[in-house]
């Protein structure tokens, strides 16, 4: 914090908040002996998200220096775009690099230096590696074993959104169709009038893909399939004992 030009009084205040942390376990209705944790920075504290960002600046400084020296190579969204070596949110981070012994060695060195300086450690049990399609299986196995991190070809989710899309975009957004079907299956069409269906479609079903569509451009085929699911639900007979015909997908508005 001193390197980031924070005021000394503010630094001392924060350090007091961290160093005075204590816990007490209640067992069978009896409060046990108070003990102090080894790591003062803890999750659940309102200050934690901000302090995590400050602490992680050390790691990202190491990554920036390695990139500027040319030892660490990230990824590019296009030929003229800058290299991306990392993305972060709170205490979570995505690192980008080469799937080679050299690239793995650089990451190992940076992470060890950061652990020594900050006292924070990488949770390898919760970490995964995603390789590009041109990486051989043997190289994936070697890198995974060296880092002690499992590798996966499946699209992991973060905050409800897929981390990587790849070429299987239809599969990445399959969960949207599944959620719509699950919502429909939870209601009996016999209990809903046509107006009730209209409200259900507009207020519930069409709201499901909105969050994802705020970040990704969905494939046209996915939109068509979701529209077909909603249209099938709309034209089914309700408690009024009669079906309806009309314009296909008239209620699917994006």
Note if the pTM is more than 0.75: no
CB 62 within 8 A of CB 114: yes
Q: Rg of the chain's alpha carbons, rounded to an integer?
A: 25
Please give the pLDDT value at position 252: 43
Q: Which of 39, 159, 35, 148 minimizes the C-alpha distance to 87?
A: 159
CA-angle at 216, arms to 212 and 219, nearest 5°: 100
How is the chain split into domains, by residue range?
A: 1-40, 41-153, 169-235
Q: Which of 136, 73, 133, 128 minimizes the C-alpha distance to 105?
A: 73
pLDDT per residue rounded down to tens, the chain (254 residues): 777 778 888 888 888 877 777 777 888 888 888 877 766 566 667 777 777 777 778 888 888 888 888 888 888 877 888 888 888 776 678 888 888 888 888 888 888 888 887 777 788 888 888 888 788 888 888 888 888 888 777 666 777 777 777 677 777 888 889 988 988 887 766 677 778 888 888 888 889 888 888 888 888 888 999 999 888 888 876 555 555 544 444 444 44
Task: Give how far Cα 118 sits from Cα of 52, 76, 89, 92, 180, Å.
Answer: 11, 29, 18, 16, 45
């Amino acid at each position: 914090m001193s390197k980031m030009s924070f005021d000394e009084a503010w630094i001392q205040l924060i350090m007091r908040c961290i160093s005075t942390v204590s816990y007490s376990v209640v067992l069978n209705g009896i409060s046990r002996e108070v003990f102090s944790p080894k790591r003062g920075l803890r999750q659940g504290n309102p200050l934690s998200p901000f302090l995590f960002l400050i602490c992680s600046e050390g790691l990202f400084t190491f990554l920036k220096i390695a990139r500027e020296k040319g030892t660490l190579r990230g990824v590019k969204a296009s030929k003229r775009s800058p290299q991306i070596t990392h993305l972060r949110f709170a205490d979570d981070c995505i690192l980008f690099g080469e799937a080679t012994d050299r690239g793995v060695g650089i990451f190992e060195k940076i992470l060890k230096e950061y652990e020594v300086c900050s006292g924070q450690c990488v949770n390898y049990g919760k970490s995964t590696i995603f390789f590009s399609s041109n990486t051989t299986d043997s190289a994936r196995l070697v890198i995974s074993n060296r880092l002690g991190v499992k590798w996966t070809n499946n699209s992991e989710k973060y905050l409800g959104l897929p981390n990587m899309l790849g070429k299987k975009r239809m599969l990445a957004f399959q969960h949207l169709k599944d959620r719509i079907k699950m919502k429909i299956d939870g209601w009996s069409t016999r209990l809903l009038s046509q107006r009730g269906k209209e409200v259900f479609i507009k207020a519930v079903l069409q709201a499901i893909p909105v969050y994802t569509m705020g970040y990704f451009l969905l494939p046209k085929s996915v939109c068509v399939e979701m529209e077909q699911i909603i249209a099938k639900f709309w034209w089914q007979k309700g408690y009024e004992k009669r079906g309806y015909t009309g314009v296909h997908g008239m209620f699917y508005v994006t």
